Amino acid sequence: STFGLPESINQSLQNYFNHLISPFLYQGSSKDKEKAEKLYSQFFDTPIQKGEQKTILQAIQSTANRDEVKAGLLNIGEQKVWLKEQEITVTEHGDWADIELYEIYENQTFEPQEILYYFTLPESAVITGIWLGDTDNLEKRFPFKVSPRGAAQKVYTSQVRRERPVDPALLEKVGPRQYRLRAFPVPAKLSATQREENPEQPTQMHLWLTYQVMAQDNSWALPQLTEKRNIYWNKNTQRMYNAEFVRNYQETWLPPTVPAIAEQTPRQHQINFPNNYHISAQPLENPEKFLVESGRFAVVLDTSYSMNTQTKELKKTINSLLENGFGDLSFGNGDADLYLTNVTLPPERIDDISQFDVEKVTFFGTLQYKEMLQQYLQLRGDTRYKGVILVSDEGSYELSRNNKEMPNLSAPLWMLHLGAMPPAYDDATLKLIQKSGGGVATKLAEVFQQVTAKSKFGESVVSVADGYAWFLDKKSPDETTEENFALLAAQQLAAQQLVLGLSKKMNLETLDELDTIHAIAKTYKIVTPYSSMIVLVNDEQREALRRAEAAADRFNRKVEDGKEQLTDPNNPLENVSVPEPGMVLGMVAMGFFLFILKKK
């Protein structure tokens, strides 16, 4: 020790010093962090680790703190794993295609890292596979398994750890268009000594993802990034699309589309499934001309703090309603009632939206979708609507609660997100959107186009998206029509529509019903809101998945809040005894003793 004294005396001196310095230090408790997190999110409508990411990362780097190995909120935009190569391969089949995304990752740190992508695909697209590998050898890559969403999440999460990291990957559908991809571990960077001692040790992660999509405007849609964690790319990233190198640097993960090689003409499709179910797809003629001509709509406005950034878009949305006759109080050409939600004050209903002034709204606090809909139902009375349009921004999915139930709605729920789509929805909200016959959009015109198209086609329509209307019918054996999807693989596109159609007809409250829906995804090897794909590499993981799939909570998926549990460096000023007033003389005497000791 500094003074050459016994440990007991050193500790007493430390205690005295802590007491003397305490008036100049923040007097907090271990619960202050939780309190700060709660109050911050309640006011600013975003998690503190997301809103104050830069400050928290600086604090971690300047202390002995350590974040978790999982890719959490603090890893948004972090550059820990380099995207070395990216390839897109398109196999065309008329007006639909199989597309493969292949990527190679290299870790730039000396710890194993997780990568996470939130991305979107067209609503009618379907994911058909994911694989991991240490090399580009297709024969040695690890295959996926389609598993109930809760079981897959549970097993994957248990494997993301620093000790004994073993490759898993998880691909989930978390919205009508939204997906979440997680892969772990990207092998830690090796030192020169480690490379010499074990030249065969893996230094890369290889990932393959496949999906099917319908043609739009003679092109094929590619995944569009919503959020990334730990992954980055630069001018040295090698990109190849359809066997051609991309010469120019791209700031984005992927371009919106790649052009089709052959001219694409939309055409009708139909396919038969067991139990006499029949799915058909019909191209839309002039979908941009689908506009609502009549009907009354409820417009529920999110007044959370984060909506402050979308006031211009909100004004445009309200003006669009007024320009199309929704504010003239005439039901013949459509009408809209506005419901203002509120955190602290009672909600408000405005039947004449021409009197609404965006500038007078105070955007404050945070509200969940469930709370907004509950406030709407309080004021609706016996008014009947053709649809409920919930106007929000990108929101904060990480603040979502693990709701099991949402309010019952008698009209389709349309989520209109100003600015951008949320990365994901909690499962209860997603279930309500799809079961009610609603959908998601970023423009008001998209909502009205879908509403009008669905009204035109009748109850058998499952979805109207991406230039096609999809229908589900149940026919007798003698009515079964001839299939014209050219390949058996194309059943996967139709199987997704079958899942969506049946999920509207079922309550999906029992395991039997959920297992029925899951069986379709498992048979046709697709990702759905109820079934995820997980890649496992050893028997221990497979046994854990087997147990999870047999559990009663196998479909209970939790909200991924992204919150990281940070380690705390040892603080000598915490958990020390406070000297009694009578000990002050002893402290002074000890000071003189130390002074004399140092003089000698």
Q: What is the CATH number of the domain that holds 361?
A: 3.40.50.410
**Do 16 and 95 fall within a single domain?**
no
Whether residue 195 has pLDDT greater than 90: no
Of 421 and 198, more confident: 421
Give the chain's length.
Answer: 600
Q: What is the pLDDT of residue 3?
A: 60
Model confidence at 399: pLDDT above 50 = yes
Whether residue 325 lies inside any domain: the answer is yes
Q: What are phi and psi of 183, to 5 degrees?
A: -140, 140
Q: Over range 173-179, report the average pLDDT.
A: 97
- Same domain membership, residue 306 and residue 221: no
Distances 490 to 95, 495, 524, 526 between C-alpha atoms, Å = 11, 9, 10, 11
Residue 226 located in a structural domain: yes
Q: Round to whole Å and give the CA distance between 348 and 162.
A: 51
d(CA 473, CA 323): 38
| Same domain as 83, residue 56 | no
| Phi and psi, residue 411, nearest 5° | -135, 155
Domain total of the chain = 3
Q: Choose the weakest-confidence range: 287-296, 335-344, 498-507.
A: 287-296
Is 486 part of a structural domain of the chain?
Answer: no
Examine the pLDDT at 46 and tell me if it is beyond 60: yes
Mean pLDDT is lowest, of 51-65, 450-464, 584-598, for 584-598
pLDDT of residue 578: 45
**String of DSSP letters for 381-414:** TT---SEEEEEE-S--GGG----S-----SS-EE
Higher pLDDT, 40 or 459: 459
- Domain boundary at 457, 490, 506, which? 457
- CB under 8 Å to 269, separation ≥6 — which residues? 280, 281, 484, 485, 490, 494
The predicted-structure confidence for 17-28, as pLDDT tens digits, reads as follows 777 777 766 666
Q: Is the pLDDT of residue 440 over 60?
A: yes
Confidence of residue 415 (pLDDT cuts 50, 70, 90): very high
112-158 residue pLDDT tens: 999 999 999 999 999 999 999 999 999 999 999 999 999 999 999 99
Rounded average pLDDT over 21-37: 69
Q: What is the pLDDT of residue 579?
A: 46
Confidence (pLDDT) at 50? 73
| Closest to 503 measured CA to CA, from 538, 537, 472, 540 | 472
Residues 46, 91 within the same domain: no
The predicted model gives 82-97 an average pLDDT of: 96
The reported pLDDT for the residue numbered 581 is 47
Q: Is residue 166 included in any domain, yes or no?
A: yes
**Whether 191 and 305 share a structural domain:** no
Which whole number is the average pLDDT over 196-217? 92
Tell whether 222 and 85 lie within a shared domain: yes
User: What is the reported pLDDT for 211?
Assistant: 98
Mean of the per-residue pLDDT values of the chain: 86
Range of the domain at 84: 75-264+531-550
| Residue 201 confidence (pLDDT) | 85
Residue 162 has pLDDT above 60, yes or no: no
Considering 44-53, 556-565, 577-586, the range whose residues carry the highest mean pLDDT is 556-565
Percent of the chain with pLDDT over 90: 61
Q: What is the pLDDT of residue 51?
A: 73
Among 263-272, 398-407, 408-417, 585-594, the minimum mean pLDDT is found in: 585-594
Q: Is it the case that residue 403 has pLDDT exceeding 90?
A: no
Whether residue 415 is found in the same domain as residue 299: yes
Distance from the Cα of residue 600 to its chain's centroid: 67
Last residue of a domain, one of 457, 490, 507: 457
Q: What pLDDT, on the 0 to 100 scale, is given for residue 229?
A: 95
410 and 449 fall within a common domain: yes
Closest to 456 in 3D by CA, of 294, 280, 290: 290
Per the domain annotation, does 190 fall within a domain? Answer: yes
Model confidence at 487: pLDDT above 80? no
| In 324-440, alpha helices (H) | 369-380, 427-435
Together in a domain, 260 and 171: yes
At residue 176, the pLDDT reads 96
| Residue 60 sits in the same domain as residue 84 | no
Match 């406005």 to its residue by tokens.
Answer: 301
Are 40 and 79 members of one domain?
A: no
Q: Which residue has the higher pLDDT, 388 or 8?
A: 388
Nearest residue to 230 (alpha-carbon basis) of 59, 26, 419, 73? 73
pLDDT digits (tens, 9 = 90+) for 125-134: 999 999 999 9
Reported confidence tier of residue 565, pLDDT bands at 50, 70, 90: low
Residue 469 lies inside a defined structural domain of this protein? no
For residue 492, is it within any domain? Answer: no
Q: N- to C-terminal Cα distance for the chain?
A: 17
pLDDT at residue 347 in the model: 96
Instruction: Classify residue 470: in a domain, yes or no.
Output: no
Structural domain ending residue among the three candidates 457, 486, 521:
457
SS3 97: strand
Q: Are residues 84 and 160 in the same domain?
A: yes
pLDDT at 386 exceeding the cut of 90? yes
